[in-house]
């Protein structure tokens, strides 16, 4: 089922969109799940097996994978690029300043369903992003990605465990203003959208449930990648999370 997600709408105010990204980080980056750490470990393992000079985080949001990788890759000749359809220019420029010569921000909107221009042999990483594409656009996206190495990660799968987990997404949403208080910009924005007018708290539950329904199963991935993937397809799972790499 491909129901709507609020994060896909252009009319969502930037402050609400940023708050939803913060709530997502609260859901996936804390000790209860450590999804971002798992993704970073798997990316590093892919790079160790097959070296590359460029790792690109597509649909990056707050760039959690780039942030997780930047420290681990310091001193190595690997460039990290961060991009999104709605890039957070202030955050991305901050990453460039914090990791000079390592992180490069793509400040224009990047739609990974269209042909892209990254160095040959780049590893493209999509974390919690691919399921946002409608079914009719996914085939074209796979063709656009086919010239690169690709790793797709999803923090959820289309199964009962993921759906049940998403029903409790309001819990990390409620704690988000406290978790990031004076840690990142937007204290009062998060208070407003999580507590005063708790749209972010409600949206994260709805969008999470819809994300589960949108995700492909392993069988669907294999069917869709037949004739597209150049080389073997690697699939892994960790709890309710999934990785598909080719």
The pLDDT assigned to 31 comes to 66
CB 183 within 8 A of CB 147: no
**Which of the residues in the chain have pLDDT under 70?**
31
Please report the beta strands in the chain, taking only residues with DSSP state E, as ranges in sequence order: 54-58, 79-82, 103-105, 123-127, 149-154, 234-238, 241-245
Output the domain CATH number for residue 72.
Answer: 3.40.50.150
Same domain, 112 and 231: yes
Same-domain status, 49 and 94: yes
Strand segments, DSSP code E, in 9-132 are 54-58, 79-82, 103-105, 123-127
Residue 230 confidence (pLDDT): 78
Residues 59, 75 within the same domain = yes
Q: Does residue 245 share a domain with residue 125?
A: yes
Q: Are 148 and 122 spatial neighbours (Cβ–Cβ below 8 Å)? A: yes
Residues 107 and 172 in one domain: no
Q: What is the pLDDT of residues 68-81, one digit of tens each?
A: 999 888 778 899 99
What is the pTM for the complete model shown? 0.93
Is 18:90 a contact under the CB 8 Å cutoff?
no
The answer to whether the CB of 8 falls within 8 A of the CB of 111 is no
149 and 165 in a single domain? The answer is no
Residues 239 and 140 occupy one common structural domain: yes
| Statement to judge: residues 223 and 208 lie in one domain | no
Q: Which domain holds residue 149?
A: 34-154+216-246
Do 8 and 92 belong to one domain? no
Same domain, 106 and 223: yes
List pLDDT tens digits, range 149-177: 999 999 999 999 999 999 999 999 999 99
Please provide the distance, in angstroms rounded to a whole number, between the alpha carbons at the two ends of the chain: 26
47 and 73, same domain (yes or no): yes
3-state secondary structure of 133: coil
64 and 173 co-located in one domain = no
Count of domains for the chain? 2
């Amino acid at each position: 089922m491909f129901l709507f997600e609020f994060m896909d709408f252009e009319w969502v105010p930037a402050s609400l969109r940023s708050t939803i990204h913060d709530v997502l980080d609260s859901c996936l980056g804390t000790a209860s799940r450590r999804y971002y750490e798992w993704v970073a470990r798997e990316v590093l393992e892919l790079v160790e097996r097959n070296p590359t000079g460029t790792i690109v985080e597509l649909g990056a949001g707050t760039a959690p994978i780039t942030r997780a990788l930047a420290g681990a890759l310091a001193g190595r000749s690997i460039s990290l690029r961060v991009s999104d359809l709605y890039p957070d220019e202030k955050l991305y420029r901050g990453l460039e300043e914090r990791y000079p010569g390592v992180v490069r921000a793509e400040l224009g909107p990047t739609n990974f369903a269209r042909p892209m221009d990254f160095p040959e042999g780049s590893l493209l990483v999509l974390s919690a992003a691919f399921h946002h594409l409608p079914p009719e656009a996914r085939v074209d996206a796979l063709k656009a990605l086919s010239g690169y190495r690709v790793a797709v990660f999803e923090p959820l799968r289309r199964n009962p465990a993921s759906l049940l987990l998403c029903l409790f997404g309001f819990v990390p949403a409620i704690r988000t203003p406290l978790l990031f208080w004076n840690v990142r910009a937007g204290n009062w924005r998060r208070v407003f959208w999580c507590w005063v007018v708790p749209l972010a708290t409600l949206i994260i539950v709805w969008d999470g449930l819809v994300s589960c329904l949108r995700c492909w199963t392993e069988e669907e991935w294999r069917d869709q990648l037949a004739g597209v993937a150049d080389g073997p397809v690697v699939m892994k799972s960790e709890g309710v999370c999934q990785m598909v790499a080719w």
